[in-house]
A and B are shown apart, each in its own frame.
Chain A
Amino acid sequence: MSASTLRRPPLYGLIGEFESPVALIKAARRAREAGYRKMDAYTPYPIHELTEALALPRTKLPVLVFIGGALGCATGLFIQWFATTSRSPSN
């Protein structure tokens, strides 16, 4: 290795621009096959094929929403029970 390359800052990452969604997906697939894992792609609209091409992790969102929904449901039922039976029973 020559002295000139050593003075350069270490490689942080690579960036590429693609003309069409098809080219982007192909590039993403190739990069993953080549062993790259820390990847992201920026697109003006959702391209579902990229999720698989970039091997993105599954989102925990559905679990969080379910917990939120269950808590909300339990709170609602509790308020109704509390208000109508224990606090002010309307026979």
Chain B
Amino acid sequence: MSEDLFPPPPPGHSREVIGPGHTFGSVTDKISSIVLTRKTPLFWTVGFAIGFLLTMMLLYAVGVLFARGIGIWGVNAPVGWGFAIINFVWWIGIGHAGTLISAILLLLRQEWRTSINRFAEAMTLFAVAQAGLFPLLHLGRPWLAYWLVPYPNTMALWPQFRSPLVWDVFAVSTYATVSLLFWYVGLIPDLATLRDRSRRKIAQITYGMLAMGWRGSAMHWHRYDMAYLLLAGIATPLVVSVHTVVSFDFTIGIIPGWHSTIFPPYFVAGAIYGGFAMVLTIAIPLRAVYKLEDFVTLRHLQNMAKILLATGLIVGYGYMIEAFMSWYSGSPYEKYMMWNRLTGPYWPVFWSLMLCNIVTPQLLWIKRVRSSPLVLWIIAVIVNVGMWLERFVIVVTSLHRDFLPSSWGMYSPTKYDWATYVGTLGFFVALFFLFIRFLPMISIFEMRTLVPEAEKVKETEG
């Protein structure tokens, strides 16, 4: 991610991270009006309605699950992990792009992150919320989930710290906490802007309380910058550590196809790959509907497309090494696992995965593809599907045929599996629509720093 990979526009050319002719006021007006004054577009109402209905379906599916147990899902011996774990890994992976954009790109001083970080962070938060549901629902007795937390109790029982389930609890709860804090701290100056600009009493009070007395004094900014930098430093290792722990869920098992040292880096690359695909899936319609082409410019989309291509190639390398190692290991079980993936009963899933994750993104080598938002959006959706299929292949094809042919079996999801998965998609969409309606989806104060007037400071002071 050096400067050469994402070259700034040549001198004389308008700065491409923000459209020409913007001032401090116009930036503020444009972003805050979406929340405060502009009429809510039909796109919002329809999108939120769909999300809300699917959330209700999720509640129904979870209600039935609580009443009847996980027998309503397709999981059974030998495939005990099914959709719940596939969806968990998929959702938590999606969050990683938001953290990478907000923390790592901040520390690397990539200015172009400015207009996309806010909603990428919101995406992280809402994706982690969906991810967190699945291991809990998969517990069998979800109402006893608090047993996973170490606390003194009358049974004198403590969590088993050698169990990856317990590692997940700490990894995911840390991730959720840091993501929430990072997102909220980033919002504070903008909440103050909304407080000052809103005309309705209830909005003034709500935004005012959330802004925690922000006045924009130089001392505030001085401490704020330090706090934000420290949070970025804390969030950065999480980009790597959370999905590493998730991959440990698999690698510490001796199942063929799971017991592999390549999993942590391979999972992290996959997470960023899937996450950037989701950022593009969200950003492209948003900029079109809310006319934000000045702020989320073509340069942003192209840069994200390049990251998508790069991480996609790392993921492809992971697949290749996985196949190579299963042959090189000399273990008949590993060899069979790979052969079973390629030609076994789940071959259509495996080859669709190759098509979605390895073949399709190669189009991104072409500049015209990277410059076309529509084509980019289609590729991003395909990659999202591909990353879900990848987790299906890892979870199901490894479990359904392991060491003893007598204990082989097949897995197929039930309607409750689908209702829960599609329900979380709806819940995610509903949360996201609430976010773009009530909070500024682009960081207003950070956009102000990109305005030509602000750039003059750098020129004069060197």
A-B pair count, CB < 8 Å, reads 84
Total B residues in contact with A, Cβ cutoff 8 Å: 36
Report whether A61 and B223 are in contact in the complex, using a CB–CB cutoff of 8 Å. Answer: yes
Q: Is A13 an interface residue (CB 8 A)?
A: no
Report whether A88 and B449 are in contact in the complex, using a CB–CB cutoff of 8 Å. Answer: no
The distance in angstroms between the C-alpha atoms of A54 and B219, with both chains bound, is 9
Residues of A within 8 A of B453 (CB): 20-21
The distance in angstroms between the C-alpha atoms of A41 and B220, with both chains bound, is 10
Report whether B225 and A80 are in contact in the complex, using a CB–CB cutoff of 8 Å. Answer: no
Chain A residue nearest to B449 in the complex (CB): A45
Report whether B457 and A59 are in contact in the complex, using a CB–CB cutoff of 8 Å. Answer: no
Q: Is B288 an interface residue (CB 8 A)?
A: no
The digit string for B427-462, where 1 denotes a CB below 8 A from any CB of A, is 000000000000000000110110001101100110
Chain B residue nearest to A56 in the complex (CB): B222
Q: Is A83 an interface residue (CB 8 A)?
A: yes
Our pick among A41, A51, A56, A62 for the contact of B230 (Cβ within 8 Å) is: A62
Nearest chain A CB to B157 CB, angstrom units? 7
Residues of B within 8 A of A51 (CB): 218, 222
Q: Is B227 an interface residue (CB 8 A)?
A: yes
The distance in angstroms between the C-alpha atoms of A65 and B235, with both chains bound, is 14
Within 8 A of A (CB), among B223-243: 223-227, 230, 234
Our pick among B150, B215, B217, B454 for the contact of A21 (Cβ within 8 Å) is: B454
The distance in angstroms between the C-alpha atoms of A80 and B170, with both chains bound, is 12
Report whether B223 and A45 are in contact in the complex, using a CB–CB cutoff of 8 Å. Answer: no
Report whether A25 and B457 are in contact in the complex, using a CB–CB cutoff of 8 Å. Answer: yes
The distance in angstroms between the C-alpha atoms of A82 and B231, with both chains bound, is 30
Chain B residue nearest to A48 in the complex (CB): B225
Report whether A84 and B158 are in contact in the complex, using a CB–CB cutoff of 8 Å. Answer: yes
Q: Is A2 an interface residue (CB 8 A)?
A: no
Total A residues in contact with B, Cβ cutoff 8 Å: 30
The distance in angstroms between the C-alpha atoms of A83 and B24, with both chains bound, is 55
The distance in angstroms between the C-alpha atoms of A45 and B454, with both chains bound, is 9
Nearest chain A CB to B352 CB, angstrom units? 42
Report whether A40 and B217 are in contact in the complex, using a CB–CB cutoff of 8 Å. Answer: yes
Our pick among B160, B189, B218, B446 for the contact of A41 (Cβ within 8 Å) is: B218
Residues of A within 8 A of B454 (CB): 21, 45
Report whether A45 and B446 are in contact in the complex, using a CB–CB cutoff of 8 Å. Answer: yes
Chain A residue nearest to B451 in the complex (CB): A45
The distance in angstroms between the C-alpha atoms of A59 and B229, with both chains bound, is 13
The distance in angstroms between the C-alpha atoms of A51 and B457, with both chains bound, is 14
Our pick among A56, A61, A69, A84 for the contact of B218 (Cβ within 8 Å) is: A56
Report whether B218 and A43 are in contact in the complex, using a CB–CB cutoff of 8 Å. Answer: yes
The digit string for A13-54, where 1 denotes a CB below 8 A from any CB of B, is 000000011100100000000000000111111111111001
Q: Is B143 an interface residue (CB 8 A)?
A: no
The distance in angstroms between the C-alpha atoms of A61 and B28, with both chains bound, is 29
Residues of B within 8 A of A61 (CB): 223, 226-227, 230
Within 8 A of A (CB), among B404-441: none
Our pick among A22, A54, A84 for the contact of B457 (Cβ within 8 Å) is: A22
Chain B residue nearest to A64 in the complex (CB): B230
Contact flag A43-B221 (CB < 8 Å), given A49-B457, A79-B150: yes
Q: Is A5 an interface residue (CB 8 A)?
A: no
Nearest chain A CB to B30 CB, angstrom units? 14
Nearest chain B CB to A79 CB, angstrom units? 5
Contact flag A45-B448 (CB < 8 Å), given A56-B219, A84-B158: yes
Chain B residue nearest to A39 in the complex (CB): B218
Report whether A84 and B445 are in contact in the complex, using a CB–CB cutoff of 8 Å. Answer: no
Report whether A21 and B219 are in contact in the complex, using a CB–CB cutoff of 8 Å. Answer: no
16 contacting pairs across A/B (C-beta < 8 A):
A22-B460, A43-B221, A45-B24, A45-B448, A46-B225, A47-B457, A51-B222, A56-B218, A69-B234, A79-B150, A83-B161, A84-B158, A87-B156, A87-B158, A88-B156, A88-B157
| Interface residue ranges, A against B (CB under 8 Å) | 20-22, 25, 40-51, 54, 56, 59, 61-62, 65, 69, 79-80, 83-84, 87-88, 90
